[in-house]
Structure 1
Amino acid sequence: MQLSYWELKNWFSNVDYTIVGSGIVGLHCALALRERFPTSKILILEKGILPQGASTKNAGFACFGSISEILDDLKTHSEDEVVALVEKRWKGLQLLRKNLGDSVIDFKPYGGYELFLKDDEAFFEECIQKIPFINEVLKPVFKTDVFEKQVDRFGFQNIFDYLIFNPFEGQIDTGNMMQALLKEATSKDILILNQQNVSSYQDLNDKVEVVTNEISFTTNKLLFATNGFATQLTEGKVQPARAQVLITKPIENLDIKGTFHLDKGYYYFRNFENRILFGGGRNLDFEGETTTDLNQTKIIQDSLEQLLKNVILPKYDFEIEHRWSGIMGVGNHKKPIVEQLTENVYCGVRMGGMGVAIGSLIGQELADLL
């Protein structure tokens, strides 16, 4: 594309910091850099018309891990590592709320619940028995008990009568959050260019040459905040994980409020006003869902609808209004990767499905690498 002199001068000359990815991590990184370097030129490149990964496509859970997810993490991580992960997620949520304000992101502290299907009795019993242990493990972070057993009052079916409740969990409006972050970045003279796909880069020691689908230019520092799209960047340490989601039409007299986890966190649902937003099912086809394709599949969509009908909304008539997918970044470890790749290139990736919780903190940590 042949750019004008004015376009080259204002957008692509004397660029101090270029951030790839305009999601939660990328925007928080840019805002942290602006605070430290008030007169610098900061440019964000985004390959989609909106953030392409999960930042505008997630379910809006302000969570840090259900009891079954934490127990699962303890099988592959040390106790100290799991506590550090939960603490990072919790601190990230507080930072997000502080930066944007609860009213802006429509934060609702309804609490979080975990359901257990009737055919998973052994796992249900294990989670109930481990409540005191997990509460003790997390006490350094929350200073009080986190999880407790409660009777199901929502009328779910084909589950055990008891749910595990967590009062520290809440829900947000994902669209409001991202719109607020984008407005904040624009107000701080941070340049954002959409539909710019970075195809290659070369660190030239004193600067970095960046090549997109439209232009080649140089920047002093290059920072990647591409999460699920960072497989090549991290030599396979990050894998994409598609999350399929649907939302119902408004449901009359809906009496379900909160964020809910099912089947070790592989399914998750919440109310949004008088609708149910429901996602998950990646465990039905791990190989197929290791993709950056944003389509949906019949096996998972059918599973979501069956669970809505038989477990979540058995007493309600409902219709599906909309379906979509987002791309998370996962790996063999839940700890995010925040590191320097070359002299002038850095990355903050692998949110592990917890981008809402830790994205703000990882963006700040990415900026701090400089």
Structure 2
Amino acid sequence: MNLSYWEYKSWLSNIDYTIVGSGIVGLNAALHLKTQHPKATILVIERGMLPNGASTKNAGFACFGSLSEILDDLKSHSEDEVLELIKKRVAGLQLLRENLGDKTIVYKPWGGYELFLPQDKALFQECISKMGAVNKLLKPVFKDAVFSEGSNNFNFKNIENSLIFNQFEGQINTGKMMEALLHKVQSAGIKILNNVNVLEYSESNTSVKVKTDNFEFDTLKLVIATNGFASKLGIDNVKPARAQVLITKPIKNLNIKGTFHLDKGYYYFRNINNRILLGGGRNLDLKGEETTELVQTDLIQNRLEQLLKETILPNETVEIEQRWSGVMGVGDQKIVIVKKLSDKVSCGVRLGGMGIAIGSLIGKELAEIS
């Protein structure tokens, strides 16, 4: 342990709560713990320079599920379970907006659209036929019809003529959101240590010993909010799911505005600063994308570029400016894992790609059980 007396005493002594992961869940858990226990010493540990999972790498969708995603969920979950999932996502989004403010996170209520490729004609017809039933299911939450059939006003090519519109979907600026959340946490006197990788932990009668790649220390309580990296700390039923993304250079006279979904949510795109941000494609290699390695693959990046050129912007010469990857936490069920692993250790993981929607609420729930 190559720490000075000052470093150890100031940052790693008398810690009441240590939170592993400085994403949406971890930072919200820290804030709620500080509210519950104002005198507590709270430390957040993050493996990356910035949140290393999905919180700063996502597409910035303020969404709760496209129509085809909801129909897919209804095949593996009960109606009550799906309704509860959507209620939590809506409540989480509301909490995020209340905590940080719409202006701060650049929230735009422009609605969401679902597109269907020619090979998805059967899925499109299923969505149209079941739209009324899903709207009825969601009516108690939204007090209005969520989904409606709309026209292709964006000149997309090689898709079904009709789009499905979701009037309650929006978009945010992910960077602004996390910047504001980090500022709020630090202003509350909560310490954050970056570039620290937690390797393992062990419990004694009085504390939890945390071993990192640089040092060890003791904490009274440990809170795990690492989502897609949860299995590295021995948490079962959570698999990493890498999401690959690209963004174009600015495009003149871009007339696309909103958030857009294809193929049961496996592809998604949006406008941002006269650019198109496009991500997804892990369904092309589901097993290969069960990884925490933050790189891109030709298979998926080529497919994203193909969608960009053939469907989204078929009449434009488009240049790609950046590519990146993030890691989500998924499992056989969409239900988030929020539980105590022991008297001193708790976790909030497996957000299923809905971190923006549900992360604030899960952070609050995690604080309440820790």
Same fold? TM cut 0.5: yes
C-alpha contact 1:203 1:342 (8 A) present in aligned 2: no
Query: Could you say which residue in structure 1 is the equivalent of 2:258?
Result: 258
C-alpha contact 2:199 2:233 (8 A) present in aligned 1: no
C-alpha contact 1:205 1:344 (8 A) present in aligned 2: no
Rounded Cα–Cα distance in structure 1 between residues aligned with 2:158 and 2:231:
39
C-alpha contact 1:111 1:166 (8 A) present in aligned 2: yes
For residues 181-233 of structure 1, what are the alpha-carbon distances to aligned partners after superposition, in whole Å with 9 as ceiling and x for unaligned?
11111100000001111111111132111111111111110000000001244
Query: Could you say which residue in structure 1 is the equivalent of 2:273?
Result: 273
Amino acid at match of 2:167: P
3-state SS of 2:341 partner: strand
1:199 aligns with 2:199: yes
3-state SS of 1:158 partner: coil
Query: Could you say which residue in structure 1 is the equivalent of 2:301?
Result: 301
| CA drift at 1:343 | 1.7
C-alpha contact 1:336 1:349 (8 A) present in aligned 2: yes
For residues 67-123 of structure 1, what are the alpha-carbon distances to aligned partners after superposition, in whole Å with 9 as ceiling and x for unaligned?
000000001000000000011001000000000000100001110000001122111
C-alpha contact 1:250 1:275 (8 A) present in aligned 2: yes
**Cα–Cα, structure 1 residues 23 and 235, in superposed 2: closer, same or farther, change >3 Å?**
closer
Query: Could you say which residue in structure 2 is the equivalent of 1:120?
Result: 120
Amino acid at match of 1:59: A
Query: Could you say which residue in structure 1 is the equivalent of 2:97?
Result: 97
How high is the TM-score relative to the length of structure 2? Answer: 0.99
Amino acid at match of 2:196: Q
- Counterparts of 1:169-208 in structure 2, within 5 Å, are 169-208=169-208
Amino acid at match of 1:344: K
3-state SS of 2:119 partner: coil
3-state SS of 1:289 partner: coil
Rounded Cα–Cα distance in structure 2 between residues aligned with 1:47 and 1:125:
45
Query: Could you say which residue in structure 1 is the equivalent of 2:361?
Result: 361
Query: Could you say which residue in structure 1 is the equivalent of 2:327?
Result: 327
Rounded Cα–Cα distance in structure 1 between residues aligned with 2:218 and 2:316:
57
Rounded Cα–Cα distance in structure 1 between residues aligned with 2:205 and 2:260:
49
Name whichever of 137-146 and 99-108 sits farther off.
Answer: 137-146
How high is the TM-score relative to the length of structure 1? Answer: 0.99
Rounded Cα–Cα distance in structure 2 between residues aligned with 1:217 and 1:125:
57
For residues 37-83 of structure 1, what are the alpha-carbon distances to aligned partners after superposition, in whole Å with 9 as ceiling and x for unaligned?
11110000001111110000000000000000000000100000000
3-state SS of 2:310 partner: helix
Rounded Cα–Cα distance in structure 2 between residues aligned with 1:192 and 1:260:
35
Rounded Cα–Cα distance in structure 1 between residues aligned with 2:205 and 2:177:
37
Query: Could you say which residue in structure 2 is the equivalent of 1:64?
Result: 64
For residues 104-147 of structure 1, what are the alpha-carbon distances to aligned partners after superposition, in whole Å with 9 as ceiling and x for unaligned?
00001110000001122111111011110000011111111100
1:52 aligns with 2:65: no
What's the Cα RMSD here? 0.8
Question: How many residues are treated as equivalent by the alignment?
Answer: 370
1:237 aligns with 2:237: yes
C-alpha contact 1:116 1:124 (8 A) present in aligned 2: yes
3-state SS of 2:90 partner: helix
C-alpha contact 2:200 2:233 (8 A) present in aligned 1: no
Rounded Cα–Cα distance in structure 2 between residues aligned with 1:205 and 1:90:
40
Query: Could you say which residue in structure 2 is the equivalent of 1:246?
Result: 246
| CA drift at 1:330 | 0.1
Amino acid at match of 1:57: K
| CA drift at 1:2 | 2.1
Amino acid at match of 2:285: D
- Counterparts of 1:222-233 in structure 2, within 5 Å, are 222-233=222-233
Amino acid at match of 1:200: E
C-alpha contact 2:113 2:259 (8 A) present in aligned 1: yes
| CA drift at 1:317 | 1.9
For residues 130-174 of structure 1, what are the alpha-carbon distances to aligned partners after superposition, in whole Å with 9 as ceiling and x for unaligned?
110000011111111100001110000000111000111000000
| CA drift at 1:319 | 0.5
3-state SS of 1:6 partner: helix
Rounded Cα–Cα distance in structure 2 between residues aligned with 1:315 and 1:168:
30
| CA drift at 1:235 | 4.5
C-alpha contact 1:45 1:194 (8 A) present in aligned 2: yes
Give 5+ residue unaligned stretches, structure 2: none
C-alpha contact 1:202 1:210 (8 A) present in aligned 2: yes
Rounded Cα–Cα distance in structure 1 between residues aligned with 2:233 and 2:193:
21
C-alpha contact 2:241 2:328 (8 A) present in aligned 1: yes
Rounded Cα–Cα distance in structure 1 between residues aligned with 2:234 and 2:115:
35
Give 5+ residue unaligned stretches, structure 1: none
C-alpha contact 1:245 1:325 (8 A) present in aligned 2: yes
